Each structure stands twice: as structure tokens, then as C-alpha cells.
Chains A and B, each alone.
Chain A
């Protein structure tokens, strides 16, 4: 059996919102249904389901994947939930890829759903337990700490100003004005970011993406079936994933080496040797504005420390040479953890097919990239898509 190619033929998303009326499985259902309908398929055409949802602590259900299965089309099907923290949203596409590329299945429904708002009094509470049970949790850690520590290190090593970083938040929140999925798109300035409340210096309120409820879904099929369901399949040409050490305080946080390894794995599979030239459009993970820059460097789309300069020059705008987060990213659209990764893949899918509406970038793109990040500065998950 040769190396089987896998294509995405349908995509669906729900609105991203702070608190949804729907349960996690109802959100999964809406996204899954939209993805199937977009490909002209029904659940009968689906042979297996790949599910992703981030910490069960949000939903307050142990084995949350089981709870969501009915809403995700998993009834009486091979149903599997993969999980790599925040990286899950892009990883689940890789998971769906290997379900089909293995030859065991010809079609797969990929579903990611997140209901962060179930967690009271604040979804951040679910993150209290991501820290080491012995020597970190007793300190009363706060999720903001790890981002603030990383942001400070990144800024200090490369001598980057907050103004430069804030440009990402400005860009993405404005891009999101054209995204019907978006939770809080808005037009802001660099000064707005710097004036916003300091939460954990150097992190200000407008540097952060909001917590959300939402779901996303994709339909993956084998190469033999791709043209049966669409005349514009999007091929998953490269996949890569990597998990760094648990001992995150032992390494220098200025550079995400695990993102580089994941990217290199994906580039190798896709036959990409010069990512800066060969990647035409990118959706790196941006839960915080500095993260987009951090990840651009990890993805080898520019030199270390160079990403802020590219942003300043407008290279990453929709009409720039490397449109980055044209969707509005997590900063603009919202961050229902697993679903946000799928949202990025959906965006690349629509951009490659010319279906992104007002968000459509001006340059002609053939190769796209979506990336997610997760854990205590540990996970990089990357997919390279081509039309």
C-alpha cells in the first residue's frame, strides 16, 4: 500500500461566544452537521469519528469525550478522543489524518468542542490543576503566570517592546471584524492595549484572547473519494507534532523549540525546504499576542526575534506577503480551546478555496499552515495544507 493522501472536503463552526445556551454535545452537533452539509454528506457516509476537547475540568465531566460522543456523530461508530492540551485543536486533524491515511477508514468526521463556561466561578479555575501537584500548585499558581514569564523572557532576550507586540492584538481583533464566528471583534489601537488593565505584568488585558464556548468540525476523506464530494479538496500534505519536557522551568522560554520540531516534521512530509517562501498563508496559535510572534519564529517563517519587525512592516496583514491569522485568530475570534485550533484549519480550508468572503487574502495561496500550542510550554502541532 502506497502512502495514502487525505483531503478535507467540508468544514463547520459554531459561533464562538462567552456563554452558550447549548451543551457541549449540542455545539458538537451544530458544527458536525454544518461540516457534513457543506460536503453534501450525511452521518451515514462517515466511518469513524475523531474527537477533541480540552480539559475535562471545564465541563465538569470525567471522561468528557464519552459524554460528547452522541453529539459528535459517534453513535455505534469507532470513536476516539485524542488530547494534547491546547494543541488538541490542530492535533485532532492529524489524528483524523492518520485514521484515514492508515487505510482502515475512507472517511472521518473530526470534531472539536469546548464549553469552558460550565466551570464556575471562572473557567481559569480549571487551569489551577495543570501545575505540578507537589511543588507548584501549593504556590497558588495562576495560568497568567506562565504566559507572563514567557512573554517577559521573550521580550528581554530579543529586546522587543510591548508596542511591537501589541500590533498583533490590533491586527487580529480587526481581522476578526470580518469573521461571523467572532466573539469580540473590535477596532483597537496599540495605545488601547497598553492602557488596558495590567493583569500579570507584562501581560495586559487586551493581550489576551477571551475564554469561549464553541465547536468546529471537518470532514476528511481518502484521495479516492476526494473529488466525489467537492471539486476543491484541500490536501493534508504535512503533519507534525511534538511534546517537550515536563520540566518547563529547566529550559529557556524565549524560543519554542517543540514548535520548530513539529514544523520540521510537517515540512519534511510536505516536501518543504524553504518555509518562508513556500508557506503562503499561516494561522499560528495566538492565545496571547506575543505568542503569534513566538510561534512564527518557531515555525521558521522568520529568524528568531524577527517576527515583530515583520509585523511592523505589515508583512502579516491580509494584503501582506505572509498573511498571518487572517481569521482574526484566537485574539479576535475567541478561544474555546480545542475548537479554536479547528477554527484555524477551517480558515485555511476556506482561504485555499477562495471561500473566505471578506477575509479573503489578496495573494494567491497554494500552501497554507495551521498550528496550535499547548501544555506548560510543551506542545506544538502543525498541519500543512495544499489545494
Chain B
């Protein structure tokens, strides 16, 4: 077969004007259902812990790893996990970003700083959250951070019970 040319390829690119001028017909719809996921054993207790102002992890009885977020099975050795460990609410930044856009590509004024924070007490187990009370330009991988919690009566059992993580000495 000869090398392909653009003429051989199917597909008709559209431009913004095609929509503005009404040259293209389309139909709108959206999904008519919501989801109520069962938190179950591991996530249920983790969220309950957050409500209490605690970060829980679990320890595998077979390989002894301490991990978070909690799970009832060890993905490494497949043993069931039943031992719960209260971890610290401090950690170390494993990576971070400074984000200037929302998911729909629109710009935000104050950038967000998402980060992966390795929680103290766990074996290289991190969770994703955001940083706050920090100058984005001063954030470094390896910085120590601590969770800033919502007030007790504002907590609902959600990852947002932690408002953000802030740097500590």
C-alpha cells in the first residue's frame, strides 16, 4: 500500500463557527442517576476516624506493612487485614503541583496546591490532599506538613474534615 495522504482519511473536522452558525445539529442529554456508594468496612472506619480527627491505617498480619488508606486485604501478599493503627496527622510531601486551572480549563485566581503526603507512622503510604497556609513557590518535596482540621462539630466523616496540610518545622 502507498503511504497515506490526508484525502484517504475519513473524518470531517468541525470549527466553533459551525456550531455558532447552526450548521451542526446536536442533541443534549445527561445521566439520570446518582450513586450512593457503600463505604463498607475499611473506608467506613477510615471516614469515621476522620470525623474523630484521626487518620487511621492498617497493618497486614503477614507482611507487617502499615498502610493507609485502609483496606481489608493486603494487595502484596493477599492476606486479610484486621489490625487497625492510629497514625499521626503529620507527614512528608512526596510530590506536589501548583494548579492554576479548574477541570474545565477555566483559570482560577488563587492557585491550588495538590500534594501526595506520606503519612507518619505508615510504611511509605501516602494520600492525596491539598496544601494551605503556604507560599506555593516555597513548597519542596520532602517538606514536613501537618493536617489542619475542621472544628469537631463541622466534621462529617469525609476527607474534607481535613481542610488542608500546612508546613511545620
A180 to B37, CA, bound (A): 46
Stretch at the interface among A83-91, A99-107, A128-136, A160-168: A128-136
B96 interface residue (CB < 8 Å to A): yes
A214 to B12, CA, bound (A): 10
Mask: chain A, 329-373; 1 = CB below 8 Å from B; 0 = not: 000000000000000000000100101111010000000000000
- Which of A14, A250, A350 touches B10 (beta carbons < 8 Å)? A14
Residue pair A200, B11 in contact (C-beta under 8 Å): no
Quick one: closest A residue to B8, CB to CB?
A34
Residue pair A355, B14 in contact (C-beta under 8 Å): no
B53 interface residue (CB < 8 Å to A): no
Cβ of A287 to closest chain B Cβ, rounded Å: 16
Quick one: closest A residue to B10, CB to CB?
A30
Cβ of A152 to closest chain B Cβ, rounded Å: 5
Cβ of A310 to closest chain B Cβ, rounded Å: 24
Residue pair B159, A150 in contact (C-beta under 8 Å): no
A60 interface residue (CB < 8 Å to B): yes
Residues of chain A lying within 8 A (CB to CB) of residue B39: 134
Quick one: closest B residue to A61, CB to CB?
B29
Cβ of B20 to closest chain A Cβ, rounded Å: 13
A180 to B11, CA, bound (A): 12
A150 to B96, CA, bound (A): 9
A350 to B29, CA, bound (A): 40
A139 interface residue (CB < 8 Å to B): yes
- Which of A127, A181, A253 touches B9 (beta carbons < 8 Å)? A181
A194 interface residue (CB < 8 Å to B): no
Residue pair B9, A34 in contact (C-beta under 8 Å): yes
Interface residues of A in 197-248 (CB under 8 A from B): 197-203, 213-215, 245-247
Residue pair B126, A250 in contact (C-beta under 8 Å): yes
Query: Which among B114, B129, B141, B159 has the highest number of chain A CB atoms within 10 Å?
Result: B114
A178 to B83, CA, bound (A): 59
Residue pair A17, B97 in contact (C-beta under 8 Å): no
B127 interface residue (CB < 8 Å to A): yes
Quick one: closest B residue to A134, CB to CB?
B43
Residue pair B98, A200 in contact (C-beta under 8 Å): yes
Query: Which range holds the interface residue count of chain A?
Result: 35 or more
A181 to B75, CA, bound (A): 42
Quick one: closest B residue to A148, CB to CB?
B97
Residues of chain B lying within 8 A (CB to CB) of residue A199: 99-101
Given A134-B159, A138-B159, A214-B11; A38-B126 close (CB under 8 Å) = no
Given A13-B4, A121-B104, A125-B103; A31-B114 close (CB under 8 Å) = no
B47 interface residue (CB < 8 Å to A): yes
Given A144-B97, A153-B94, A153-B95; A245-B75 close (CB under 8 Å) = yes
B116 interface residue (CB < 8 Å to A): yes
- Which of A27, A60, A132 touches B11 (beta carbons < 8 Å)? A27
- Which of A20, A127, A215, A246 touches B13 (beta carbons < 8 Å)? A20
A312 interface residue (CB < 8 Å to B): no
Residues of chain A lying within 8 A (CB to CB) of residue B31: 60, 62
A139 to B128, CA, bound (A): 9
- Which of A124, A139, A144, A145 touches B159 (beta carbons < 8 Å)? A139
- Which of A14, A120, A122, A150 touches B103 (beta carbons < 8 Å)? A122
A250 to B68, CA, bound (A): 8
A178 to B94, CA, bound (A): 40
B21 interface residue (CB < 8 Å to A): no
B24 interface residue (CB < 8 Å to A): yes
- Which of A27, A180, A246 touches B5 (beta carbons < 8 Å)? A180
Quick one: closest A residue to B115, CB to CB?
A149
Cβ of A253 to closest chain B Cβ, rounded Å: 6
Residue pair A134, B97 in contact (C-beta under 8 Å): no
Mask: chain B, 17-33; 1 = CB below 8 Å from A; 0 = not: 00000001000111100
A16 to B14, CA, bound (A): 11
Residues of chain A lying within 8 A (CB to CB) of residue B96: 149, 152
A152 to B96, CA, bound (A): 7
12 of the cross-chain contacts (CB-CB < 8 Å) are: A15-B9, A17-B11, A139-B160, A149-B97, A153-B95, A180-B8, A200-B99, A200-B100, A201-B99, A246-B75, A249-B116, A249-B128
B residues bordering A, Cβ < 8 Å? Answer: 1-6, 8-14, 24, 28-31, 35, 37, 39, 43, 46-47, 67, 69, 71, 75, 94-105, 112, 114-116, 124-130, 136, 141, 158-160
- Among all A-B residue pairs, the 8 with the closest Cβ atoms: A30-B10, A357-B3, A148-B97, A17-B13, A14-B11, A15-B11, A180-B6, A200-B99
A-B contact sample (5 more), CB < 8 A, given A145-B99, A350-B4, A355-B1: A139-B128, A153-B141, A201-B98, A215-B11, A253-B116
